[in-house]
Structure 1
């Protein structure tokens, strides 16, 4: 008899909805301090999860939730670069990345 493996559950920092880790998009502050979108979800560093919808990114930007979650200070250029990466990942339809219920 095979056992079902538990899927890791994560919470979107903007809307606070919970979902399977693979359905959320991870923003990571790497060990070198550089902040990027993590398409694989496996990059080393401190991470924060967002639903793959622009509304959650905008809410996180407006409330400066990424600053708090990543324990750093982001300027407008950082947010703009992250927003471009975020939109590119959503449009490229990364395998496993999906809409959250």
Structure 2
């Protein structure tokens, strides 16, 4: 049986390549709306971040998501990302 290739993506904060399923995707659609994409399938430009608070704080402090998506990131998105990271860390 043929082995499946695991899709790898790079975290915008720490620049580590990790399997796509271990990262959270933030998407900017054509209308300029920013969403947290837990499915990894939404249309639009995506940026990935690790499932740890350290990477999230680094991305917020150095505006890594803003640079990757070329748009201002509202605080609600960072709050949603933090809630998602805390939810995954409890599991």
TM-score, length-normalised on structure 1? 0.80
Alignment partner, residue 63 of structure 1? 62
Secondary structure at the aligned position of 2:4 is classed as coil
Deviations 1:26-79 (A, max 9, x none): 1111222111211111110000000011111111111111111002233xxx0x
Other structure's SS at 2:36 match:
strand
Alignment of 1:1-101 (within 5 A): 2-74=1-73, 78=74, 80-93=75-88
User: Which has the larger share of strand?
Assistant: 2
Runs of 4+ in structure 1 over 6 Å off: none
- In structure 1, the gaps of 5 or more residues are none
Q: CA RMSD in A?
A: 1.8
Q: Which runs of 5+ in 2 are unaligned?
A: none
Q: Which has the higher contact order (CA 8 A, sep 6+)?
A: 1
